[in-house]
């Protein structure tokens, strides 16, 4: 039974030692002149911005977010590091930003907005020009980088960076397209440097996968997201590493564990059905643990009758449909389960482990989505 009478029905534990380990993995691979940026967008990949960002800040040189709102949140919790805002920032979001917040800009229009903000506020935000080298998302075409640099000059903006993002470095064992993107990017950097008269100090292209696989993508700044939290970007990335380097060398440690309590023990007789739609029928007399967690909390509905949780160090299959706020697990073969016992939805418990990769594979998704969809309402705390 739970030791703490006032324990929450569910919570997320974050392991700072795992986070420090993962940061060392990347830091040790980088040249001393290359800066490390920790990406904390999307509530720090579901880990909880307010709790985990101060820990990440101990191990990186920069923090990266998607929105100006996230940048302001980092400042409110006392983060002093430089921040790169990597997403679209319309004029309405250009407020209360300090000169340590850098913007990744993808159009002449965005440059004009930054100049207007400076004229109104007196704060000049450094800009990084985003180059589209093949992802066809944000960014100006490679051939337009010179015009962007000249436009920034006319607006008297400080261009401190040039950046791109790889389209297909995670999902394949064949990386020719990434090499093509890298070549295009190098041409764009050269053109920007020619127009500006000096190479911007922050040249960056590498995500987690690129930094793991290709040192030539490091340049002067590396953006690490999913792997800082202890996860390989994909099975293909891990296999690419193994094919090149063997099985040793990189061990990432997941930072996050998701826990809950057994809320009720429900006896089910042989032949009785369980849950909405009666999608599971007991083949024997069964005991179910009713767990107060559901898809509203971020546990995918698609995992009904497919996944497992860990209770008392043993795996317990999830049965019936995952409901909005409730799910059920078969604990018939786990002796001594009681109301209040800890349930591990993600993480390790004795001899049983459930990973984000396990859940993603079962519901046809990726580990990023499993983590990022964890409800911000779930209490987060650092593991002791």
Count of C-beta atoms within a 10 Å radius of residue 292: 17
Q: How far apart are CA 8 and CA 229, in angstroms?
A: 24
- Cβ proximity of 308 and 315 under 8 Å: yes
DSSP string, 295-361: GGGT--GGGTTT-EEEETTEEEEEES---SS-EEEE-TTSTT--TT-EEEEEEEETTEEE-HHHHHH
**195 membership: H or E segment, kind and range:** helix 176-196
* CB-side neighbour CA atoms (13 Å) of 67: 11
- Cβ proximity of 105 and 128 under 8 Å: yes
- Cβ proximity of 107 and 88 under 8 Å: no
Beta bridge partners of 357: none
* Mode of pairing for the β-strands spanning 101-105 and 127-132: parallel
Count of C-beta atoms within a 10 Å radius of residue 147: 14
Which is the catalytic residue, given 45, 130, 155, 276?
Answer: 276
- Compute φ and ψ for 195, nearest 5 degrees: -70, -40
Our answer to whether residue 41 is catalytic in this structure is yes
For residue 254, what are the contacts with CB-CB under 8 A and spacing of at least 6?
15, 18, 229, 230, 231, 347, 355, 356
Which is the catalytic residue, given 41, 238, 295, 299?
Answer: 41
Q: How far apart are CA 53 and CA 225, in angstroms?
A: 12
Q: How far apart are CA 249 and CA 71, in angstroms?
A: 34
Our answer to whether residue 276 is catalytic in this structure is yes
Catalytic positions, please?
41, 276
């Amino acid at each position: 039974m739970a030791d703490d009478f006032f324990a929450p029905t569910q919570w997320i534990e974050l392991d700072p030692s795992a986070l420090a380990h993962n940061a060392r993995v990347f830091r040790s691979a980088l040249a001393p002149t290359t800066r490390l940026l920790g990406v904390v967008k999307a509530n720090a990949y579901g880990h909880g911005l307010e709790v985990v960002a101060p820990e990440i800040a101990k191990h990186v040189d920069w923090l990266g977010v998607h929105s100006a709102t996230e940048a302001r949140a980092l400042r409110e919790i006392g983060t002093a590091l430089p921040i790169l805002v990597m997403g679209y920032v319309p004029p309405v979001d250009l407020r209360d930003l300090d000169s340590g917040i850098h913007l990744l800009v993808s159009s002449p229009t965005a440059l004009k907005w930054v100049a207007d903000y400076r004229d109104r506020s007196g704060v000049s935000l450094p800009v990084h020009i985003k180059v589209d080298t093949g992802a066809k998302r944000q960014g100006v075409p490679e051939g337009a980088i010179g015009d962007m640099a000249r436009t920034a000059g006319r607006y008297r903006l400080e261009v401190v960076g040039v950046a791109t993002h790889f389209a297909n470095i995670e999902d394949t064992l064949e990386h020719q397209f990434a090499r093509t993107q890298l070549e295009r990017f190098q041409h764009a950097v050269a053109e920007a440097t020619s127009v500006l008269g000096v190479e911007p100090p922050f040249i960056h292209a590498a995500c987690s996968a690129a930094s793991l696989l290709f040192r030539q993508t490091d340049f002067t700044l590396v953006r690490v997201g999913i792997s800082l939290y202890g996860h390989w970007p994909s099975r293909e990335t891990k296999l690419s590493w193994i094919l090149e380097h063997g099985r040793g060398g990189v061990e990432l440690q997941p930072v996050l564990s998701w826990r809950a309590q057994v809320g009720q023990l429900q006896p089910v007789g042989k032949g009785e059905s369980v849950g909405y739609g009666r999608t599971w029928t007991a083949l024997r007399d069964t005991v179910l643990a009713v767990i107060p967690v559901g898809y509203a909390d971020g546990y995918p509905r698609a995992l009904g009758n497919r996944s497992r949780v860990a209770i008392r160090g043993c795996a317990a299959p999830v049965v019936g449909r995952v409901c909005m706020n409730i799910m059920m697990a078969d604990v018939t073969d786990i002796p001594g389960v009681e109301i209040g016992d800890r349930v591990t939805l993600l993480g390790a418990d004795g001899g049983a482990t459930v990973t984000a990769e396990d859940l993603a594979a079962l519901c046809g998704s990726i580990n990023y989505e499993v983590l990022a969809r964890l409800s911000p309402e779930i209490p987060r705390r650092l593991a002791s």
